[in-house]
Amino acid sequence: MRMNQVFGVDALLRMVSHFLFIYLAFWALQSVRLDQLFKKGTGHEGQIRFVYFFLAILLGYTASNFILEFISLSRNFFVSGF
C-alpha cells in the first residue's frame, strides 16, 4: 500500500468519526432543554437550533478526537513492546 493511500484512509476514517460523533452529540442534545435558557417569545427558534448545532460540533469533535487519540496511543503502546 502506498503512503498516499494510507493518508487517504486515515483522513476518511477521521472524517467519518467526526461526523458520527457530531451526529451522536446532536442526538443526545435533543434531550436537553436549552430553550429554557433563551429569552421568552417567538423568533428565537432559529437561534436555538444554531446553538444546538454548534454545541453538537463542539462536543462531537472533542469526543471524536479523544477516541481517535486513545486508539492511536494504544496502538503505539502495543507496537513499542511496552
Dump pLDDT digits (tens) for 23-56: 999 999 989 887 777 777 767 778 888 888 999 9
Mean of per-residue pLDDT scores for the chain: 86
pLDDT band (50, 70, 90) for residue 6: low
37/59 Cα distance (integer angstroms): 19
Q: How many CB atoms lie within 10 A of CB 41?
A: 6
pLDDT band (50, 70, 90) for residue 5: low
Mean pLDDT across 2-9:
68
Every domain of the chain and the residues it spans: 3-79
Q: Please indicate whether residue 11 or residue 39 has the higher confidence score (pLDDT).
A: 11
